[in-house]
């Protein structure tokens, strides 16, 4: 890839300090973040103000230590997890530089989407900086395939920024779905409100692995695509502290107080996740293996496919 400086596009930071508080979905711990304006070319950095010497944790591929269920970064023992919702919001708002002071290990889940972050950033506003944006210009196709997770990603040379996403979990509830983001400026309205989701049969496993301690009735969509017993539903209802948990006709657990039709299914979730991950890749935050030995993936029962044209 060739690194280029744009003549007409400039870097941006936030206009003023912004505070966001909530609980982490996996740790369940209460956390407060203060987003502050940052100097040009400094990028996105977390500052663990709850730790001695308040170490910085830069959002960089070299600092990624875990991507199972969420993205976790770490520097010299200081880590920050579940950063992807906030990162997607910053990408959608086209913010390049920001310092995030955080007093805990995990970014708050809020409603399980990037939307609350976007709304807060829209109120605060952004400020243009006297430094050009830096872009990667893709000269040839780049393909990445994860056979174990059944994921295929292809980046193609393109004169703009566009993402096509296809998901197929072999689920009668989700089905096969496709979405297209033609302009990053559309992210806030079309994609950011998509919610985190998981399958019902995954819940007990997640709990057994000491995850989703912060799950409640407002931050996750639960898809029920296999037969479940009343005992299973009752057991899970205790997790959400709700007595009337039921499976709707559409195969969605009614743990949420409200779910919009647009976000009932999973495609928009994968679209914002693809937006963040492809932006990170193009910014040098995530590296993907390439080479002539990487072949196109054949049809499979459980796969998600993300295609970026850049």
Within this chain, do residues 126 and 254 fall inside the same structural domain, yes or no? Answer: no
Within this chain, do residues 245 and 112 fall inside the same structural domain, yes or no? Answer: no
Within this chain, do residues 55 and 185 fall inside the same structural domain, yes or no? Answer: no
pLDDT computed for residue 218 by the predictor: 63
pLDDT computed for residue 232 by the predictor: 74
Within this chain, do residues 19 and 116 fall inside the same structural domain, yes or no? Answer: yes
Within this chain, do residues 45 and 113 fall inside the same structural domain, yes or no? Answer: yes
pLDDT computed for residue 35 by the predictor: 98
Q: Considering the domain boundaries, does residue 3 fall inside one?
A: no
pLDDT computed for residue 215 by the predictor: 59
| pLDDT, tens digit only, all 310 positions of the chain | 544 543 348 999 999 999 999 988 878 889 999 999 999 999 999 999 999 999 999 998 889 999 877 899 999 999 999 999 999 999 999 999 999 999 999 999 998 889 999 999 999 999 999 999 988 788 899 998 989 888 899 999 988 888 888 888 777 777 788 888 888 889 898 888 888 777 777 776 776 676 666 655 567 677 777 777 777 777 767 666 666 666 665 556 655 544 433 343 344 444 445 555 555 554 444 333 333 333 322 222 333 333 333 3
Domain boundary among 239, 258, 277: 258
Q: Mention every residue, 6+ apart, whose C-beta is less than 8 A from residue 161.
A: 183, 184, 309, 310
Within this chain, do residues 219 and 89 fall inside the same structural domain, yes or no? Answer: no
Q: Considering the domain boundaries, does residue 185 fall inside one?
A: yes
pLDDT computed for residue 239 by the predictor: 65
pLDDT computed for residue 247 by the predictor: 66
Within this chain, do residues 16 and 158 fall inside the same structural domain, yes or no? Answer: no
The CATH number covering residue 121 comes to: 3.30.230.20
Within this chain, do residues 154 and 70 fall inside the same structural domain, yes or no? Answer: no
pLDDT computed for residue 210 by the predictor: 66
Domain containing residue 297: 138-193+264-309
Domain boundary among 115, 135, 155: 135
Rounded (5°) CA angle 86-92-95: 80
pLDDT computed for residue 301 by the predictor: 30
pLDDT computed for residue 233 by the predictor: 73
Pairing between β-strand 78-80 and β-strand 197-199 as defined by DSSP bridges = unpaired
Contacts 24+ apart (CB under 8 A), 118-122: 118/89, 118/92, 118/93, 118/188, 118/192, 120/18, 120/20, 121/14, 121/18, 121/35, 121/89, 121/90, 121/93, 121/95, 122/93, 122/188
Within this chain, do residues 178 and 271 fall inside the same structural domain, yes or no? Answer: yes
Domain boundary among 86, 105, 135: 135
Q: Considering the domain boundaries, does residue 90 fall inside one?
A: yes
Token pair 């663990």 in the structure block, residue? 48
pLDDT computed for residue 112 by the predictor: 86
pLDDT computed for residue 160 by the predictor: 81
Which residues lie across from 142 on neighbouring strands? 155
**Residue-wise burial string across 16-39, b where 16 or more C-beta atoms lie within 10 A, e elsewhere:** eebebebbbbbbbeebebbbbbbe
Number of domains in the chain: 3
pLDDT computed for residue 116 by the predictor: 94
Within this chain, do residues 285 and 237 fall inside the same structural domain, yes or no? Answer: no
Specify burial of residue 209 (Cβ count, 10 A radius: 0-12, 13-18, 19+): exposed
Within this chain, do residues 117 and 189 fall inside the same structural domain, yes or no? Answer: no
Within this chain, do residues 165 and 277 fall inside the same structural domain, yes or no? Answer: yes
pTM above threshold 0.85: no
């Amino acid at each position: 890839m060739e690194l280029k400086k744009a003549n007409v596009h400039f870097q941006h930071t936030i206009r003023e300090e912004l505070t966001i508080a909530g609980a982490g979905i996996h740790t369940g711990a209460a956390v407060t973040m203060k987003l502050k304006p940052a100097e040009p070319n400094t990028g996105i950095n977390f500052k663990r103000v709850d730790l001695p010497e308040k170490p910085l944790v830069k959002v960089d591929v070299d600092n990624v230590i875990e991507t199972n269920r969420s993205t976790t970064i770490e520097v010299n023992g200081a880590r920050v997890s579940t950063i992807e919702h906030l990162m997607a919001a910053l990408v959608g708002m086209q913010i390049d530089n920001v310092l995030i002071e955080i007093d805990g290990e995990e970014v708050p889940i809020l409603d399980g989407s990037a939307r609350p972050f976007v709304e807060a950033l829209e109120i605060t506003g952004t400020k243009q900086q006297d430094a050009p944006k830096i872009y990667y210009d893709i000269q040839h196709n780049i393909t990445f395939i994860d056979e174990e997770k059944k994921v295929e990603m292809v980046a193609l040379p393109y004169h703009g920024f566009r993402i096509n996403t296809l998901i197929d979990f072999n689920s009668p509830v989700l089905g096969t779905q496709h979405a297209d983001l033609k302009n990053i400026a559309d992210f806030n309205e079309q994609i950011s409100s998509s919610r985190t989701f998981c399958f019902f049969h995954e819940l007990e496993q997640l709990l057994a692995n000491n995850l989703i301690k912060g799950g409640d009735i407002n931050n996750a969509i639960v898809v029920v695509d296999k037969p479940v017993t009343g005992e299973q539903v009752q057991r899970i209802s205790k997790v959400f502290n709700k007595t009337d948990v039921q499976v709707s006709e559409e195969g969605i657990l009614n743990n949420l107080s409200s779910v919009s039709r647009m976000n009932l299914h999973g495609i928009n979730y994968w679209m914002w996740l693809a937006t963040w991950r492809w932006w990170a890749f193009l910014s040098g935050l995530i590296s993907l293996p390439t080479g002539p030995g990487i072949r196109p993936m054949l049809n499979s029962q459980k796969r998600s496919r993300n295609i970026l044209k850049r």
